[in-house]
Structure 1
Amino acid sequence: MQPVDRQTYRAVAAPAPKQQGPRRDPAPSRMAYKAHRLWLTPVFRAFLRVGVPVFLVLLLTGWYFSNPTNRYAIGEKLTAMKRSVQERPEFMVKLMAVEGATPIVSDAVRTILPIDFPISSFDLDLDVMRNEIMKLDVVAEAELRIRPGGVLEVAISERAPVIVWRTGEQLELLDNTGHRVASLTARSARADLPLVVGEGAQDAIKEALMIFAAARPLATQLRGLVRVGARRWDVVLKDDQRILLPENAPVAALEQILALDQAQDLLARDLTIIDMRNPLRPTLRMADQATDELRRIKALDLGDTSQ
């Protein structure tokens, strides 16, 4: 066997060199790059941290409440919790106090507000209750509040009647604005108040009060005022005497008559009507008996003249 050369042995024994494949690119792929950039976006990260959990919570909540039994159970629990708070002792109203009202009005208020005490203050609608009270004609103003101690206070301001209005067979009490206060069964029940008669009288109460104030010297003779044509007044005195006032400035016309009466005792004469509808030309109408007597006197004067 022939000896092998060392160099030849190394060439034979040495492994064949490996074939190198294509070199790997260290840069990320397009999809990885886009995903990395998307993750660095604050909105996307906020969506993952907040949006996704919220969406899952809403999804689970919607699924839970889609069951009617679950909804009813939750509603019952909320109602029970609400009532337990509303019916605590500090929120309970035990009685009602009506202030500033006469006994009749106080009873009327309690009638239109049939409250079953004790009751929670949350169950009382004070605005609705006030509107109900204001439907009473006698009530000018009403204020409701809940005082400490569980007291519902109703403060009433009543209308003050200043005049009696006769319309047909009915008698009504009116305040100084012409608003109805109450009905009257008999004139004698409020003989202290002046009387107005006629349709539309309630719309001119302020003017009527001014006329009554000017007619104070005739207080013992004055019976009342009659509204004529919803535009002017007649002053009615005893013995059916009438003073026909004009539509404009009726007080001035009445004062003119009072001045004549004081100077010439005009109203003591046998007159039935003093027409002041034209203040520049007053007209007097005598009673029938006085007219006949005047005619008789004139006839006598004419007879004496012919002789």
Structure 2
Amino acid sequence: MRALTARRNASARADSRADPAPSRLKYRIQRWMLTPGIRTGLRLGLPICVVLAAAGGYLASETRRAHLVDLYTEARTAFETRPEFMVNVMAIDGAGDSVAADIREVTSLDLPRSSFDLDLAAIRDLIVGLDPVKTAAVRIRPGGILQVDVVERAPAIVWRSRDGLALLDDTGAFVAELGQRSLHPDLPLIAGRGADKKAVEALRLFATARPLGARLRGLIRVGERRWDVVLDRGQRIQLPVERPVAALERVIAMSEVKDLLERDVAVVDLRLPTRLTVRMNAPAVEDWWRIRELNESSF
């Protein structure tokens, strides 16, 4: 009996020692390791940290960093200076000789040059900044050609100011200085301070005054507010501030019907839109007084 009981007690102690159930600490660690975030961190984060630590240790040396920078610079330079990326010449279309020379001077490009070193937007801004250039397009054509397509401003009007004569386009933008009026006798003439800012209105007035033909000499801006139309024989048409085109049409229509501008009239004053005032020439006034005196003496 004792032997059987002893064997049972020994077997119970052996079973208790071989219990496969983990301890509470091991159980918590295993549950923690099964967490998706921890598993991802161990699978990805740990290798990344090891690589970053190794890279940081390698780059801690200034000599190694300088060597890497040199290698990168050499590789980039070798790639950017390949023949297919080199710009060798500049081609300019749509510009005259003088404007083309100004474009080459203002851009100051040292060719051949890598296309990676060219700022096309900045080059375009430099070209458009020239007074004679209205618009410009810059692109790189196959074959290493920097293509510049230019649209020049077309002179539409001559402006006489204190600084001399200047050419303006149909928007009033400055085109170029003009040495002599005889260089562009076909262009209409405006004068006065601020006349360039009203070039569009001036061109409409010139179009309206076309029936006057060669008698029209030009327009003068008065007080930066209104226009005077200057004709031959010293005649002037003083236009109002508001609706000057309509006022000029009225005078021209009246002249065609009653030959107003063919008479000895010095000034036709339309500054008051509701009233037309006419000022005669001095000889015409003297003749009028003489005729009046003769009529009074006859009675």
- Could you state the TM-score of these two structures normalised by the residue count of structure 1? 0.89
When structure 1 is superposed on structure 2, of 237-246 and 121-130 the one drifting more is: 237-246
Q: Aligned partners of 2:41, 2:205: CA distance in 1, in Å?
A: 83
Q: Which of 137, 151, 158 is the matching residue for 1:143? A: 137
Deviation at 1:25, TM superposition (A): 6.2
Structure 1 match to 2:234: 240
For 2:278, the aligned partner's letter is L
Q: For 1:88, which of 82, 86, 99 is the aligned residue? A: 82
What residue is the counterpart of 1:5 in the other structure?
A: none
1:221 pairs, out of 210, 215, 219, with 215
1:174 paired residue among 168, 171, 191: 168
| Superposition pairs of residues 93-108 of structure 1, within 5 angstroms | 93-108=87-102
Say if 2:53 is the partner of 1:59. yes
Q: Distance in 2 between matches of 1:291 and 1:24?
A: 143
Q: What code does the residue aligned with 1:255 have?
A: E
| Residue 109 in structure 1 maps to residue 103 in structure 2 | yes
Q: Report how far residue 258 of structure 1 moved.
A: 1.8
1:188 alignment partner, one of 182, 198, 206: 182
Which residue number in structure 2 is paired with residue 24 of structure 1? 17
Larger radius of gyration: 1
Q: What SS does the corresponding residue of 1:131 show, helix, strand or coil?
A: helix
Q: Distance in 1 between matches of 2:194 and 2:213?
A: 24
* Structure 2 alignment gaps of length 5 or more: none
Deviates more, 1:89-98 or 1:286-295: 286-295
The answer for the alignment partner of 1:7 in structure 2 is: none
How many residues align? The count is 290
* Residue type of the alignment partner of 1:189: L
**Percent of paired sites with the same residue:** 47
Secondary structure at 2:214's aligned position in 1?
A: coil
Name the counterpart of 2:150.
156
The alignment's C-alpha RMSD in Å is 1.9
SS at match of 1:112: helix
Per-residue displacement from partner, 1:215-262 (whole Å, max 9, x unpaired)? 112221111001112221110011211011122222222222222222
Give the aligned residue type for 2:93.
Answer: E
Partner of 2:268: 274
What secondary structure, in the 3-state scheme, does the structure 1 residue paired with 2:146 have? strand
CA deviation after TM superposition for structure 1 residue 208, in Å: 1.0
Q: Does 1:251 align with 2:258?
A: no
Paired position in structure 2 for 1:283: 277
Richer in helix (by share): 2
Please tell me the residue identity of whatever aligns with 2:95: A
CA shift for structure 1 position 302? 1.3
